[in-house]
Amino acid sequence: MPFASGKYSIAFCDRCGMKYPYNSLRPEVVNGIVTNIRVCEECFDPDHPQLWVGRMSVVDNQALEFPRPDLGIAESRGTFGWNPILGQTIGFSQGYVSVIVS
């Protein structure tokens, strides 16, 4: 049996108790469940996304599929600099000092 459209009806907000047109009231949704509470636009509180934590799949992969290892590990971990006085490159690699004279 179909219901009436309610275009001329009035209703009261279940939260504030004010009178509104029947069709302007919205059902309240709590934790993804539609309740039997009908509220006005001012009292309507949308369902917060944090209530859905744990229900949605979250994939955050950290590993690479085809990693490329660093081939120059000793060189990449060292601190290199150019000496402007002597024109020499001094490299510090794993605690050893190496001087390259050009």
7-16, 40-49, 58-67, 76-85: segment of lowest average pLDDT: 76-85
Q: Which residue's structure tokens are 């050893």?
A: 96
**82 lies in a domain?**
yes
pLDDT confidence of residue 69: 72
Around 90, how many Cα atoms within 13 Å sit in the side-chain half-sphere?
A: 10
Mean pLDDT on 83-90? 56
Give the Cα separation of 18 and 54 in Å (integer): 37
Q: What is the pLDDT of residue 64?
A: 83
Q: Is 88 part of a structural domain of the chain? A: yes
Are the beta carbons of 14 and 37 closer than 8 angstroms? yes
Do both 15 and 46 map to the same domain?
yes
Q: For residue 44, what is the DSSP state?
A: -
Residue 89: predicted pLDDT: 53
Domain that holds residue 93: 75-102
pTM over 0.85: no
* Total of domains in the chain: 2
Dig out the tokens for 28 from the structure: 């309240």
Which helix (DSSP H) or strand (DSSP E) does residue 74 occupy? Answer: helix 73-77
Residue 25 in any domain: the answer is: yes
The answer to whether residue 22 sits within a structural domain is yes
Is residue 89, in this structure, part of any structural domain at all? yes
Under the banding of pLDDT at 50, 70 and 90, the label for residue 80 is: low
Stronger pLDDT, 48 or 56, i.e. the higher one: 48
45 and 79 both lie in a single domain = no
In a domain, 58, yes or no: no
Q: Are 26 and 38 in contact (CB under 8 A)?
A: yes
- What totals of helices (H) and strands (E) does the chain contain, helices first? 1, 7
